[in-house]
Amino acid sequence: MIAGRRTQLLIDSGASLTLINLHFFLQLPKYYRKKARLPPSNLCLQLADRSQLYVKYALSLPITISNSAHMHRVYVVPKLWRSCIIGNDLIHKHNLQIDGGRQYAYFKTKNIHTQVQQERKEKVNNDDEYILLANERIKISQFHAFNIEVKPNKPFSVIEEKNEEDEYEVTSIKETPCVANGIIAPNQYITLQVANLTKRMIIIHPNQPLATMTRLNQSQINMMQHGKISSTSNQTKLTAENEPNLINTDLDEHQKKEIRKLIHTFPDVFNEQAGRTKKLQHRINLVPDAQANNSPPFRYAPARKQIIEENLKDMLDQGIISPSASPWASPVILAPKKDGTLRFCVDYRKLNSVTIRDAYPIPRIDDTLDSLQEAKFVSTLDLRSGYWQVEMDKNSREKTAFVTHKGLFEFNVMPFGLTNAPATFQRLMDIVLAGLKWQCCLVYIDDVVIFSPTFEQHIVDLEKVFQALQSANLTLKASKCQFCRREMRYLGHIITQNGIKPDPDLIKSVTNFPQPKKIKDVQSFLGLTGYYRRFIKDYSKIAEPLQQQLRNSQKGNHHLNWSRGCTDAFEILKKRLTNAPMMNTPNFEQPFILELDACEYGVGAVLTQEYEEKKYVIAYASRTLSTAERNYGATEREALAIVWATKHFRPYLEGNKIYVRSDCKALEWMRTAKDVTGRLARWAMKLSAYQIEEIKYRPGKLNANADSLSRNPLPDDIVNQHEVSTIETAVNLWQNTNILKDIKEEQQADPKLKQIINFLETKPTTDSNDKRNPHILVNGLLYKIKNSNMHYNQRIIGEKHLLVIPKAMQNKLLEWAHDHPTAGHGGQQKTLFRLITRVYWESMRKDVFNYISAC
C-alpha cells in the first residue's frame, strides 16, 4: 500500500529512485497531495529503451510492503506504466529483502521482521524535513533582494550522526517573499536569498516561515551531481535538436568543448518537451458585468481543416488543451509564418476587451540594451514554447475556450494572444531569475540574454541561469539558443563589442516600403522608422512633413495630400536608417555631453561622451513642437530643448555630470539668474535637479577658439558708452582672420559704404548716438550701431554693434549661416536670427528667405 491505497508495485533494482504514476498520485488523499513539491533538480529519467520521463513532483509517503511500513521520498512521473516502481534508494535505505523463489519481499531490520504498524500511528512528518524561520524583522523594498539569516523550526533529528557532507533541498513556501530554491549544506548559520518582486515594500517578521528544508540521501545527491537518473547509462545523450549551435561563434575548440560540457550537465533544461512550472499560474480577471463571448467557428477549406486537426492532436497528446464545455468560444485563425507555413492561433480580441489589464512593468528596450556596456561575451536563450510552460488557473481555463469544426477545447496552459500573457511571463522570469537579472542577465518577456566580460565568467553566469531555470521546471531549445557571440541579434538590434546598430534584416522592411498612398501607410512607415529613431539625428525634424499629414487627419482631413516635402522626408528617413551609425552603450563613469538644437518647428538633442580621445554617440532624440510651442521666441525654444532633453535622457543623466552645448547664451543666464519668472522660472527649477557643470556654445571644442570678431574688440571708451560686448556667433562664421580682411577690402570697394567710411574718417569724434549717422569705425571696419528702435529683443541678445557686410560678401555669409555643418540647414527664422544679431545689410531678410527657398 502507498499512503493507505492498495496497488501493485514493481521492484526494480536497476532504478535509482522510487517513482509513482501521476494518475495514481492524483487519487491520493489531499493531505498527501498538499505536501508535494517541485523536484530539487527537475529530474529527467532515461530508461533502458532510451526513452525519457520527466519528474513532476517530489514528496514523502508511507509505503507498506508485507505488513511493514516506512516513510520514503518518492517522485511523481506522468505516463508511468505502473502505479509505483520501487528503486534502489528504498531498497538500500530500508533494507528491503527480495526472495525470488518465493516471490516475496519484506523489510528486514536486525534480522527481525518488523510488524505492520497502524498507518494512523505512522509519523507523516519526516524527521529530515524542517521549516526555515526568519531570525529578525526586516524590510525589503520593492524589486530588491536580501540575504537573510534563518533558523530551523526544530533541532536536527540526530545531531551526533549528522554528516558534514549532508545536503538539504530548500524550497520557497510562497511567491512573496520569494526565496531562491536550491541545495545547501547548513552549518551553524543558514542564510537564504529572499527577494521582493512586488511594487510595494514587504516586512518579514521574526519566526515567519520562509522555506522548507529537506535532507537529501546520498543517491539523490549523486543523482543531482550528475544531473539525471538513468537505469542503464551514466550519461544522457542530447538529440541533434538540442545540440548547441556553435557554428558562428569566435570560440576556439577548447571553449566550444566547455560550452557543450556545460549543456550536457543540464539535460533536464535542454529536452524535447516543454516544461511546466509551478512558480505561478495565469489568471484572467474580467471587468464587472462582463458577458461570455461565444463566436461560431470560421469556415476553412479542407486543406486548412487538416492543419487544424493536426494541431489539435498534437496539443491534446501533450496535455496543452482539453475538451471543454465552456460558455466562452473564440474562433481559430491560421496566420502565415515567414517561411510560408501556417500558424495555429486563437482570436482572443473579444476576451481581451473585457479583461482587466495587468500593469506589471515590461522592461524598456533601451534600458535593456544600455545594460550591455561591458559585454564581451553574450548568449541568448530560447525557451521552448515559453508561454506553454505556464499553467492556466483552473477557474480561468474555460475563458480560453476556442471553437473548431472538431468541437470546443480549452487551454490547460497559457496560450498566445491573451492581453496579459506578456506581463505574466515577465513576472515569472523576474521571479525565476531574481538575484541574477541586471547583474549577469537581462529578460524581455521570453527573450533572455546573458552577458559577461570574460569567457570564464560567462560559463559561471550561464550555469547560474541554467540552475535557476532548472529549479523552476523551465526548458530551453538549444538549437535556437546562441552561445558566446561577440555579435548577435537581440530585440531588433545587432549587439557588438563596439556598440549597437539596427538589425539589417528588419531595416529591409523600411527600405522596401512603398510610397504611402493613404494615411494608414504613413502611420505604418513612421511606426517602423520610429522604433530606430535613436539612430537618426533630427528624426522629428526630418519627419515633420509626414507628421503634419497625421495631424491633418486628426482634424478630419483624411485625404493624403502628398507633397515634395513628404517625398524628401520619406526618402531621407530610409537613407538615414540604411546608413545608421553605430550607437555606443553609455559609460556611467564618464560625464555626458548634451548637444542641443532648436528651430521653429522642432527640438533635437544628441547625447555623447568624450574619453580616451574619442567621441562616442549614445543616442539621438528629437520631437516636433506643439502649436503653442511654435510661438515661443528663439531663447524659449532653446530653453525648452534643454528641459525636454534632460527629461528624455534622465536615466542617463540623473546623478552624473552634464556638459551642455547650445547656440543660445541665454541658457546659461536662465540657469544662474535669480529673478526669472513664469515659464523660464519653472524650467530653471527643473534644471536645478541635474548636475549641469557647464553650458557653452556649440560646436564644442571649436568654440574655444573665439570668433575672430571677439579678437577685434571695440575701443574701451566706446564699450563703456554703448555697453557693447564682443561679437560672437554659434555657427563660427569666420574660419580665420583673413575673412575680416576680405570684408574690409570689399567695404572699401563698395561705393556706398566707401562714402560712409570716408565721412567717418574725416570726423572721428562723431557722436555714436547721432541717428543721422548710425555707423562707427573699429579697426578700419564699418559697424552699424544697434539702437533701441531695432526690431529684436535687446534683453535676450544684448547690445552689440553689427558688422556691415558689403554686397560682394553677402552670399558668403548666407552660406555660413545656413549651409555650414553646425548650422544644420536651419529654417528661415533660425538662419535670419543667426545673422541679424551679428551682422547687417539692408535686404538681409529678403535675401535669407530667397536663399532658403532655393535650397
Here the cell at position 298 is: 470560421
**What pLDDT does 181 receive?**
57
Which grid coordinates are listed for 470? 532548472
With a cut of 90, say whether residue 724 has pLDDT above it: no
Assigned CATH class of 9-121: mainly beta
Average pLDDT over residues 710-736: 32
Average pLDDT over residues 229-247: 46
Q: What would the pLDDT profile of 609-624 be if each residue is shown by its tens digit?
A: 888 777 777 777 777 7
Q: Give the mean model confidence (pLDDT) for residues 170-184.
A: 67
Joined together, the cell numbers standing for residue 759 give 565721412
The answer, yes or no, to whether residue 411 has pLDDT greater than 70, is yes
Helix crossing, 564-578 with 504-511: angle to 10°?
A: 160
CATH fold of 502-578, please? Alpha-Beta Plaits (3.30.70)
Q: Among all chains, which residue has been given the C-alpha cell 493613404?
A: 518
Report pLDDT for 329. 93
592-703 CATH choice from 3.30.420.10, 3.40.1190.20, 1.10.760.10, 3.40.190.10: 3.30.420.10
Query: Where does residue 418 rank: exposed (0-12), middle (13-18), buried (19+ CB within 10 A)?
Result: buried
Architecture of domain 709-853 in CATH?
A: Orthogonal Bundle (1.10)
The three cell numbers of residue 462 are 550561464
Q: Are the C-beta atoms of residues 25 and 460 closer than 8 Å to each other?
A: no
Boundaries of every domain in the chain: 9-121, 129-226, 279-495, 502-578, 592-703, 709-853
User: What's the rounded Cα separation, in Å, for the pair 605 and 620?
Assistant: 6
- Give the per-residue pLDDT at 547: 83
Q: 10 Å Cβ neighbour count for 571?
A: 11
Neighbours of 699 (CB within 10 A): 15
| Res 675: pLDDT | 53
Sequence-separated (6 or more) residues with CB below 8 Å from residue 478: 238, 241, 242, 243, 244, 245, 263, 270
The amino acid sitting at 464 is K
What nine digits make up the cell of 835?
A: 545673422
β-pairing verdict for 19-21 and 68-77: parallel
Q: Are 80 and 20 in contact (CB under 8 A)?
A: yes
- Class of domain 279-495 (CATH, top level): alpha beta
> Per-residue pLDDT tens for 802-827?
889 998 888 888 877 776 655 556 67
- Percent of the chain clearing pLDDT 90 (strictly above): 6
Q: Are 603 and 544 in contact (CB under 8 A)?
A: no
Q: Which three cell numbers stand for residue 102?
A: 518465493
Local confidence band at 401 (pLDDT 50, 70, 90 cut-offs) = very high
pLDDT at 234 over 50: no
User: CA-CA distances (angstroms) from residue 133 to 36, 86, 174, 554, 738?
Assistant: 20, 34, 13, 61, 83
Q: How far lies 584's CA from each of 367, 380, 403, 439, in Å?
A: 13, 20, 50, 20
Average of per-residue pLDDT values in the chain: 73
Q: Is the dihedral of CA 450, 452, 457, 459 positive or negative?
A: positive
Residue 6's pLDDT is 81
Cell of 472: 523552476
C-alpha neighbours within 13 Å on the C-beta side of residue 763 = 11
**Which string of b and e fits 508-542 if b means at least 16 CB within 10 Å?**
eebeebeebeebeebeebbebbebbbbbbbbbbbb
> What's the length of the chain?
855
Place of cell 528588419: 506
C-alpha cell at 64: 507498506
Q: What's the pLDDT band for 239 if we cut at 50, 70, 90?
A: very low
Task: Please name the fold of domain 129-226.
Answer: Deoxyuridine 5'-Triphosphate Nucleotidohydrolase; Chain A (2.70.40)
Q: Is the pLDDT of residue 9 over 90?
A: no
User: What pLDDT, on the 0 to 100 scale, is given for residue 393?
Assistant: 92
| pLDDT for residue 593 is more than 80 | yes
Question: Is pLDDT of 202 > 60?
Answer: yes
pLDDT at 13: 78
Give the count of beta carbons closer than 10 Å to the beta carbon of residue 477.
Answer: 18
Lowest model confidence (mean pLDDT) among 54-63, 156-165, 256-265, 641-650: 156-165
Per-range mean pLDDT, top range of 120-134, 207-221, 511-525? 511-525
Percent of the chain past pLDDT 70, that is, above it, reads 68
Helix (H) or strand (E) run with residue 149 in it: strand 144-152
